[in-house]
A and B are shown apart, each in its own frame.
Chain A
């Protein structure tokens, strides 16, 4: 079974801080994704990656960047956290045509 692990369940950060959200998968999947989930807005795609050192913008990339130095690890970076980035962040993986496999999420609060 695919395991997608997000390193933190809860994070509280201050406005202006640089924030790293980490995601690790154990099934050698090529594709990895970062979504955020907000009430009334559903899940929205921030960035995704098809391979090491490759990245593609999703629907809401502004204020975020990503890093994929190793196949199993995909990091989401908030360069300067703002209160409107308070959200639930979900990492997911995919191989070929299979459905997305999600991690359990990181709830980030920016104060």
Chain B
């Protein structure tokens, strides 16, 4: 049973526009969430995180929003750039622990 779901396998966005990647979770005990980015032939790299005491965290062009009541988080990339084209994984855990549960990933393509 997938506890962390990314229902959109792919997303295509024009350069300069906003990219919104979504993630839903089912376990109400999850209280720490992360986004990772993965280029082909490379390992995932950490992008941004948020704990459940906040509903928004921002880092440059990347903002993560958390809606605890809906068990939903989203990653906004503004403005999108071609270099953002990658697979994005959300992940969740109970506390900032070692047992992360990853979503299935969304492939983002940013075209000129």
Contacts and interface: CB of A to CB of B under 8 A. Distances in A.
Interface stretch (B37-45, B52-60, B69-77, B78-86): B37-45
Contact of B100 (A90, A100, A103): A100
A74 to B, nearest CB: 13
B102 A42 contact: yes
A50 B99 CA distance: 12
A43 B46 contact: no
B104 A40 contact: yes
A55 interface: no
A34 interface: no
Contacts of B14: none
B43 A90 contact: yes
A99 B102 contact: no
Contacts of A48: 98
Interface residues of A, number: 26
A45 B96 contact: no
A100 B96 CA distance: 11
B89 interface: yes
A42 B25 CA distance: 14
B3 to A, nearest CB: 10
Given A31-B98, A42-B89, A94-B98, A100 B103 contact: no
B46 A105 contact: no
Interface in A41-92: 41-45, 48, 50, 58-59, 90, 92
Given A97-B96, A99-B49, A92 B43 contact: yes
Contact of A43 (B41, B42, B99, B102): B102
Interface in B84-112: 89, 91, 96, 98-105
Nearest to A103: B43
A58 B49 contact: no
A102 B44 contact: yes
Nearest to B103: A42
A42 B44 contact: no
Contacts of B49: 99
The 6 closest A-B pairs by CB, nearest first: A102-B43, A99-B46, A43-B102, A42-B102, A42-B104, A102-B44
